[in-house]
Structure 1
Amino acid sequence: MSSLGELQRLGSSTAGPPRKRDNRAAFFFLSPWFAGLVLITAGPVAASFVLGFTDYNLIQPPEFNGLENFQRMLHDERLHHALGVTFTYVFVSVPLQLAFALGLALLLDRGMRGLAFYRSVFYLPSLLGTSVAIAVLWRQIFGADGLFNQVLGWFGVQGQSWISDPGTALSTLIVLNVWTFGAPMVIFLAGLRQIPVMYYEAAAVDGASKARQFRSITLPLLSPIIFFNLVLQIIHAFQSFTQAFVVSGGTGGPSDSTMFYTLYLYQRGFHSFDMGYASALAWLLLVIIAIFTAINFWASKRWVFYDD
């Protein structure tokens, strides 16, 4: 009994401190993440916000200039052109990419053999599409002597340097973004697998065609997945940089036809050393993405359907 009492007293005396020790241990192991959040993310974000109101060339100390950087945006014709190029890229490539991803997901959902293999192969472009190597390869494919022109030559069509033509250079980057359909396709495929088969069986008994089943069953039940992919791909498209940088050699050419917003921001910051203006441009991009995200969430109330 005495030994049992001593164990109880020992347990009661150490009941409080272990929880504090556990908390200290948790904070200790989380400290690298908090340090990264402050030093790598939160700190630079706060610094860019402050620099957006300054004249800073990376050499001399920043000088406060109020709203001058934001006023310059109203008269910056090249910025307006970059916005037009970026909006065209987003509004054309994202719907095409999602439509292509959904079509392949519907095809794979039919239960073909080797589904895991095809799913992995189709997902691979999403892993490689934003790399420098693929951008270089894309420039070679659509060059004057590239693979695309060789295929056209089989049909007697004389090709051109699609990358060097201002009328088609942006289209090649749109095709590249559509090619990276793997990630949304996998998400679409997972969503299709969650739709109960009994809905389609009941619709087939009522005489509904495949097209009617797609409109009345698949699209409504898949609308949350479509909304999720739409938001993510719009954000990703607005942040596209590597493709345009590599294909155009960092110039946004030819004739600024591939001058993405992010590429113009990079040029202002690291070519012209106008870091104050570049910081203001970065915050404008954040506002643009936030506006489009808010519009999507507002519009989703009209076309996204949930179980509840």
Structure 2
Amino acid sequence: MAAVLAPPGPRTGAHPAAQPPHPARRRAGAVHRRRALVWFALLAGPNVALLLVFVYRPLLESLYLSTMQWNLGSPVARFVGFGNYVEWFTSPATAQVLTTTAVFTLATVGGALVLGLGLALLLDRRLPGRGLARTVAFAPYVLSGYAVGILWLFIFDPRYGLMSAVLGWFGVASPQWYTAEPWPLVMIIVVYLWKNLGYVALIYLAGLQSVPQDLRDAAALDGASPARTLRSVVLPLLTPTTFFLTVTMLLASLQSFDVIRSMTSGGPLGSTTTLMYQIYQEGFVNGRAGYASAGATVLFLVLLAVTALQLRYVEKKVHYA
């Protein structure tokens, strides 16, 4: 005899998660989400407003001005489209400006990372007066770049400066730091490194102090030398710090202005004119606001591209654990 199948009834042992949420819970969740949105708007809203007013609005205005032929103070502006960009890319000075910018940036970023790491390793040792040494090393970073440049002009003076006296002790004549290439560019690179070395060393020092001591002890027990421990244990754990410093120092070097302005004003013959200084020169000295805005747009695109490449390729080699 065929069995008669009764329709299935409600399961008494159903899991509570399978049941629809209670209306009171849905209302509580909606209230919680609205409250979180209100707090987000209150806390992030002022920052977003400031970014829109003081960052993105000037950026859009600069993009607009780059398509205009307009001089500072002139009541008339003429639309030229990409004319300013064509002039910038075809100018004979552009190649020299880009070369100077690349040399200055690579030298200051690479030098700061290498020298900063060495200084951080030295300041990480248990030496007397270590706290004072850290303060002295970091102090130049908080000084005005313009004041630092003026100070170092006296040090580099070929006849009466301290550098000339030190070189004289070894029987070496002082180079013509102000006039003979490539010494003006070397001079501003040295000053920029001196000013920012303490910042790099301080960030590296924080990274060194976060390296677990037991890993160093284990490497020492395995017979690794201090140099091998640094290369195989410490440096891989410092890759997040190195990545952060590479990004920040690269952006800062590309936008450097105050040291160049106070020491060489882009000279002699444009040998120390970087892209950032050219934007200032064209916009505020020559009064060509449209042309300067085109240069500023190029600088923005360079910064954007460099940052994107670093985030895309360099960050893959960063070890966060």
Query: Into which bin does the TM-score normalised by the smaller protein fall?
Result: 0.7 to 0.9
Q: 1:254 aligns with which of 246, 268, 272?
A: 268
Distance (Å, rounded) in 2 between the aligned partners of 1:34 and 1:102: 36
Larger radius of gyration: 2
1:55 equivalent in structure 2: 69
Q: 2:83 aligns with which of 34, 58, 68?
A: 68
**Shift of residue 35, structure 1, vs aligned partner:** 6.2
Give the CA RMSD over aligned residues. Answer: 2.3
**Shift of residue 149, structure 1, vs aligned partner:** 0.3
Distance (Å, rounded) in 1 between the aligned partners of 2:183 and 2:320: 41
- Structure 1 gaps of 5+ residues are 1-15
Distance (Å, rounded) in 2 between the aligned partners of 1:274 and 1:115: 51
Are residue 148 (structure 1) and residue 148 (structure 2) matched? no
1:11 equivalent in structure 2: none
Residues 301 and 45 of structure 1, relative CA distance in 2, 3 Å threshold: closer
Q: 2:308 aligns with which of 294, 298, 301?
A: 294
Aligned partners of 1:269 and 1:275 also within 8 Å: yes
1:83 equivalent in structure 2: 98
Q: 2:199 aligns with which of 160, 183, 190?
A: 183
Aligned partners of 1:166 and 1:255 also within 8 Å: no
Distance (Å, rounded) in 2 between the aligned partners of 1:262 and 1:177: 15
Percent identity between the two aligned chains: 35
Are residue 109 (structure 1) and residue 129 (structure 2) matched? no
Distance (Å, rounded) in 2 between the aligned partners of 1:72 and 1:106: 48
Aligned partners of 2:283 and 2:292 also within 8 Å: yes
Aligned partners of 2:71 and 2:288 also within 8 Å: yes
**Shift of residue 36, structure 1, vs aligned partner:** 4.6
**Shift of residue 120, structure 1, vs aligned partner:** 1.3
Distance (Å, rounded) in 2 between the aligned partners of 1:31 and 1:131: 33
TM-score, L = length of structure 1 = 0.85
2:318 equivalent in structure 1: 304
**Shift of residue 219, structure 1, vs aligned partner:** 0.7
Q: 1:214 aligns with which of 205, 221, 230?
A: 230
Aligned partners of 1:199 and 1:217 also within 8 Å: yes
Distance (Å, rounded) in 2 between the aligned partners of 1:41 and 1:305: 32
**Shift of residue 285, structure 1, vs aligned partner:** 0.3
- 1:283 alignment partner AA: T
Q: Which region of structure 1 is more displaced relative to structure 2, 173-182 or 151-160?
A: 151-160
Q: Which region of structure 1 is more displaced relative to structure 2, 90-99 or 291-300?
A: 291-300
- 1:183 alignment partner AA: Y
Aligned partners of 2:243 and 2:315 also within 8 Å: no
Q: Which region of structure 1 is more displaced relative to structure 2, 156-165 or 179-188?
A: 156-165
Write out per-residue CA displacement over residues 244-298 of structure 1, whole angstroms, 9 at most, x where no aligned residue.
Answer: 11112x3x11121111111111111112211111111101101111111122222
- 1:197 alignment partner AA: Q
1:242 equivalent in structure 2: 258
Residues 148 and 288 of structure 1, relative CA distance in 2, 3 Å threshold: same
Aligned partners of 1:79 and 1:264 also within 8 Å: no
Aligned partners of 2:156 and 2:177 also within 8 Å: yes
1:93 equivalent in structure 2: 108
Aligned partners of 2:175 and 2:183 also within 8 Å: no
Aligned partners of 1:94 and 1:233 also within 8 Å: yes
Distance (Å, rounded) in 1 between the aligned partners of 2:44 and 2:245: 31
Distance (Å, rounded) in 2 between the aligned partners of 1:280 and 1:292: 18
- 1:99 alignment partner AA: V
**Shift of residue 111, structure 1, vs aligned partner:** 2.1
TM-score, L = length of structure 2 = 0.82
Distance (Å, rounded) in 2 between the aligned partners of 1:185 and 1:257: 30
Distance (Å, rounded) in 2 between the aligned partners of 1:269 and 1:262: 11
Distance (Å, rounded) in 1 between the aligned partners of 2:250 and 2:150: 24
1:7 equivalent in structure 2: none
Aligned partners of 1:135 and 1:246 also within 8 Å: yes
- Structure 2 gaps of 5+ residues are 1-30
